[in-house]
Amino acid sequence: MQTLYKKLVAHFGSQIQTASALQVSQANVSGYVSGRWNMSEIVAMRAELATSGKFKAVELCPSLKEFQKHSA
């Protein structure tokens, strides 16, 4: 998961730019990258929209994977 978050940061160019695009703090982005916490559902959906689908919300947020399994 951490690698995916690092790729997301690379996509935007920096943690600060990522934070701005996702409407969160830079500290949140740092937490995702370091593995301290996972991205919330809403932030993952913002990431998917902000990257035009390059990064999928279901890949960024583990709880969305669980939701997807139960709704299928």
| Structural domain harbouring 63 | 2-71
Q: Which domain CATH number covers 16?
A: 1.10.260.40
What digits encode the pLDDT tens for the residues 39-72? 999 999 999 999 999 999 999 998 887 766 666 5
Q: Is the pLDDT of residue 7 over 70?
A: yes
Q: Is the pLDDT of residue 33 over 90?
A: yes
Cα separation, 72 vs 13, whole angstroms: 35
Dump the DSSP string for 3-57: HHHHHHHHHHSSHHHHHHHHTS-HHHHHHHHHTSSPPPHHHHHHHHHHTTTSS-H
Number of domains forming the structure of the chain: 1
Q: CB burial class (10 A; 0-12, 13-18, 19+) of residue 57? A: buried
Q: Is the pLDDT of residue 3 over 70?
A: yes
Over residues 20-49, mean pLDDT? 97
